[in-house]
Amino acid sequence: MEVERVAPEGPDVAPVEEEPLFTNLDIFLFSLIVGLLVYWFLSRKKSEETIPEFKRLTPVVTPQRETSFIEKMKKTNRNMVVFYGSQTGTAEEFCGRLAKDAQRYGMRGMSADPEEYDMSELPRLAEIDNSLAVFCMATYGEGDPTDNAQDFYDWMQENGEDLKGVNFAVFGLGNKTYEHFNAMGKYTDKRLEELGGKRIYDLGMGDDDGNLEEDFVSWKEQFWPAVCEHFGVEATGDDTSIRQYELVVPTDINMNKVYTGEMGRLKSFETQKPPFDAKNPYLATVAVNRQLNQAGDRHLMHLELDISGSKIRYDSGDHVAVYPVNDVSIVNRIGQILDADLDTVISLNNLDEESNKKHPFPCPTTYRTALTHYLDITNPPRTNVLFELAQYATDPKDQDTLLSLSLSRNILAVLEDMPSLHPTIDHLCELLPRLQARYYSIASSGKVYPTMVSICAVVVEFQTSTGRTFKGVATNWLKNKVVVTDNGHKATVPMYVRKSQFRLPFKASNPVVMIGPGTGIAPFMGFLQERGWMKEQGKDVGETILYFGCRRRNEDFLYQQELEEFEKAGVLTQLNVAFSRDQEGKVYVQHLLKKNKEHLWKLIHTDNAHIYICGDARNMARDVQNTFYDIAEEVGGLTHTQAVAYIKKLMTKGRYSLDVWS
């Protein structure tokens, strides 16, 4: 209702207009709001009528790997578990053989990687009647556990759980040329007993400097009777071959799903994804491949692998692992002798469906790929392989030779020398061990060359007792890696970096004494590059001394030009080179150490010097260590016992480091 207001009349008074109750703007906004409400109501009604019904989706849950070996043993009715600590595959192979043999001795075994299971469940093994845990433990580096046994080692050290009722046995794999021979096997055996476990057979110790296979077989022959006696079981006496894998030849083949040399993920070499490790190596291009020696009957080489864009980081002293490829001519010859089509696509599937190891190598693949990339066809087969092959020999003499276990030739030589031996190629592929990565001390510094990894190596080639030429798989393969191939492609090498404890001192001012004859100079090239870099940064760099050894100055003085430049620049304080064959009497690095004994003792005893030794473990490293004992006695006035304790203390403090091989 509109109300009109009238002003009083008068000549001097104008009428006053009052504002309406709702302005035009109010009306507009009101109309807009009403319109929006109507639109929302109608559209909501329409959408409710048109919403389709969706079926409720059940979320997909990826099954997790069983981490309880106890539950797995119960589920599969096993009473024996064999754990392995393995760096190169030998301990894993021994472990598999023990698990496989178990059924011949009244036990039901399974092999297990301690990295894949919860080892804190070990006390629960007592829940399983007549149960047994066996440990095949390799020692790596300077008395260290292998990578896959590190967590188990930490558990043993840190936990005091009661292992009462747990039966165990240990076989250690080591090398007597190393300071800490079989340290991991000894520690595992001792610690399990300390925790209350019951040892059912003595610690076995294999020596790779002697005959590791014979040591294992000898231990195994006594171990099984001890098992039978302890558990009151009897051997079946059945020595027939037991297959672990069955051959499957797929009929419908999708070649995109066939492995062609990858270590883990299918097509990983085509689509590279970091991080790069043992199961996912990086395909590095070869940027440099040059011969280092000027003369002589050997081939020493320097390679540089380009790791640009890989996100791989490394420090001086680290190792580079390289996956080699077998000689194509050997692969073809094996296929020819066995009358096999090497391009047949196959899969070897584990007969034990509960096993975590589904195949002996990546499958499906071809026989050619398996023999080229995955299997060791160069080293002499182990006794278990020869034993299994003997059943295929039709000539009794060949059978006897195979069973005599005294062969020292590779599988091709075995097949060539025994015409009556015709194993099936699938069984041979099952029996042969995996081709392992080869490790080299990196010959460069990651701080100076972050996108390049250098390798220094000598090509292995020699005549065998049977008159054949033995060629090292990796070094001969690397030797032939030309930077650019005939078709214009760059040569590549599958690799990854493994960290090391071989490190320069934290304080650059600490003196360093480096001893590395032959290719043992490799890590010291990285050390020198890094010390030079530190010097350029203006850091106070201590004395840097190198003892290098080779045969002749004009033959194999490796990196001569680079070393002399380091010396000229003041990075290398002292360069001492022993040329063993340039004079009548042989001169080695230990002789030069002895000559400088007073200065060396001052560096070690007074100036806090760090000592580094790289190269041959069997002779050189031992002779050098004995020389340091002599220096401690002759200059330091210590007794021999005190000298030995002194050097051991340096090792404990990280001031006496070894990177050696045999």
Question: Could you tell me the CATH superfamily of domain 69-231?
Answer: Flavodoxin domain (3.40.50.360)
**CA atoms within 13 Å, Cβ hemisphere of 394:** 4
Task: Tell me what the mean pLDDT of segment 166-180 comes to.
Answer: 94
Residue in 122, 105, 96 with CA at minimum distance from that of residue 352: 96
Model confidence pLDDT, tens digit, residues 2-59: 333 333 333 333 333 334 444 555 555 556 665 665 555 544 444 443 333 434 334 4
The answer to whether 423 and 387 are in contact (CB under 8 A) is no
pLDDT of residue 160: 85
Strand bridging mode 282-291 / 300-306: antiparallel
pLDDT (0 to 100) of residue 33: 62
- List residues forming the annotated binding site for FAD: 438-441, 456-458, 472-475, 661
Q: What angle do CA 575, 576, 581 make, to 5 degrees?
A: 135
User: Does a cis peptide bond (omega within 30 degrees of 0) precede residue 275?
Assistant: yes
444 is catalytic: no
C-alpha to C-alpha distance for 152 and 159, rounded to whole angstroms: 10
Residue 148: helix, strand or coil by DSSP?
Answer: helix
- Using alpha carbons, list the distances in angstroms from residue 485 to 121, 275, 482: 54, 28, 6
Whether 601 is catalytic is no
pLDDT in tens, 123-166: 999 999 999 999 999 998 788 999 999 999 999 999 888 999 99
Concerning whether 238 is annotated as a catalytic residue, the answer is no
What pLDDT, in 10s, does the model give residues 552-561? 999 999 999 9
* pLDDT above 70 as % of the chain: 89
Give strand pairing partners of 659: 614
Tokens standing for 660?
């050696």
215, 429, 614, 616: the active-site residue: 614
Q: For residues 225-231, give the mean pLDDT.
A: 96
Q: What is the pTM of this model?
A: 0.86
Residue 2 CA: distances (Å) to CA of 20, 411, 451: 9, 114, 89
Per-residue three-class SS string for 299-340: CEEEEEEECCCCCCCCCCCCEEEECCCCCHHHHHHHHHHCCC
Phi then psi for 493, rounded to 5 degrees? Answer: -135, 120
* pLDDT of 551 strictly over 70: yes
DSSP 600-638: HHHHHHTS--EEEEEEEIIIIIHHHHHHHHHHHHHTT--
Buried b (16+ CB within 10 A) or exposed e, 149-160: bebbbebbeeee
The verdict on whether 661 is a catalytic residue reads yes
The percentage of residues in the chain with a pLDDT greater than 90, rounded to a whole number, is 79
Confidence of residue 228 (pLDDT cuts 50, 70, 90): very high
Q: What residue spans in the chain does CATH classification 3.40.50.360 cover?
A: 69-231
- Quickly name the fold that domain 272-324+437-500 has: Elongation Factor Tu (Ef-tu); domain 3 (2.40.30)
DSSP string, 240-289: S---SEEEE--SS--GGGS-SS-SSSTTTTTS--SSPBTTB-EEEEEEEE
Q: Hey, what amino acid is at 288?
A: V
Question: Where does the chain hold its CATH 2.40.30.10 domain(s)?
Answer: 272-324+437-500
Q: Which two tokens stand for residue 537?
A: 């940064």
The answer, yes or no, to whether residue 174 has pLDDT greater than 90, is: yes
Considering the domain delimited by 325-436, tell me its CATH architecture: Up-down Bundle (1.20)
pLDDT of residue 416: 95
Tokens representing 303?
């390679």
Query: What kind and span of H or E run contains 97?
Result: helix 90-101
Per-residue DSSP letter, 567: H
Determine the average pLDDT of the residues in 630-653: 97
* Domain span(s) for CATH 1.20.990.10 in the chain: 325-436
Q: Which positions make up the binding site for NADP(+)? A: 298, 519, 580-581, 586-590, 623
How far apart CA 99 and CA 112 sit, in angstroms, is: 9
Q: Which one of 441, 444, 500, 657 is the catalytic residue?
A: 441
Binding site residue list for FMN: 86-91, 138-141, 173-182, 208
Question: How does DSSP assign 493-545, residue by residue?
Answer: EEEEEE--S----SSTTS-EEEE--GGGGHHHHHHHHHHHHHHHTT-----EE
Q: Is 206 exposed, middle or buried (0-12, 13-18, 19+ CB in 10 A)?
A: buried
The dihedrals phi and psi of 350, each to the nearest 5 degrees, come to: -65, 130
The answer for residues whose C-beta is within 8 angstroms of residue 427's C-beta and 6 or more apart is: 243, 388, 392
Taking residues 453-468, report their average pLDDT: 93
Q: What per-residue confidence (pLDDT) applies to 5?
A: 31
Rounded CA separation 49/54 (Å): 14
pLDDT at 94 over 70: yes
Tell me the CB-side half-sphere exposure of residue 566, using CA atoms within 13 A.
24
**Distance between CA atoms of residues 457 and 312, nearest Å:** 22
Q: Which amino acid is at 660?
A: V
Residue-level pLDDT at 235: 86
Model pLDDT for residues 570-615, shown as the tens digit of each residue = 999 999 999 999 998 899 999 999 999 999 999 999 999 999 999 9
Long-range contacts of 554-557 (CB under 8 A, 24+ apart): 554/294, 554/295, 555/293, 555/294, 555/295, 555/296, 556/292, 556/293, 556/294, 556/295, 556/296, 556/298, 556/300, 556/518, 557/294
pLDDT mean across residues, the chain? 90
CATH of domain 512-660: 3.40.50.80
Q: Which two tokens stand for residue 632?
A: 């401690």
pLDDT tens digits along 502-544: 999 999 999 999 999 999 999 999 999 999 999 999 999 999 9
Cβ pair 424, 437 in contact under 8 A: no
- At 125 the pLDDT is 98
Beta-ladder partners of 321: 439, 496
* Secondary structure E strands in 393-464: 438-441, 452-458, 461-463
Task: Give residue-wise pLDDT tens across range 390-413.
Answer: 999 999 999 999 988 667 899 999
CA dist 49 → 35, 38, 44, 422, 439 (Å): 21, 17, 9, 76, 69
- Binding-site positions read 86-91, 138-141, 173-182, 208, 298, 438-441, 456-458, 472-475, 519, 580-581, 586-590, 623, 661
**Predicted pLDDT at 56:** 39
